[in-house]
Structure 1
Amino acid sequence: MFLHLGGLMMIRTEELIAVENLENLTALDDWFEQQRRAAQQVVDISEGKPKSAIYTDQKVVLSAIASTTLKKRLNQSPRKQVF
Structure 2
Amino acid sequence: MTPRPRKQVLLRLDPAVYDALARWAGDELRSANAQIEFLLRRALAETGRLPGGAGPIPRRGRPPKSPDGTDDSAADG
- TM-score calculated relative to the size of structure 2: 0.26
Higher relative contact order (Cα pairs below 8 Å, separated by 6+ residues): 1
Which structure shows the higher strand fraction?
1
Q: Between Structure 1 and Structure 2, which shows a larger proportion of helix residues?
A: 2
Which protein is bigger by CA-based radius of gyration?
A: 2
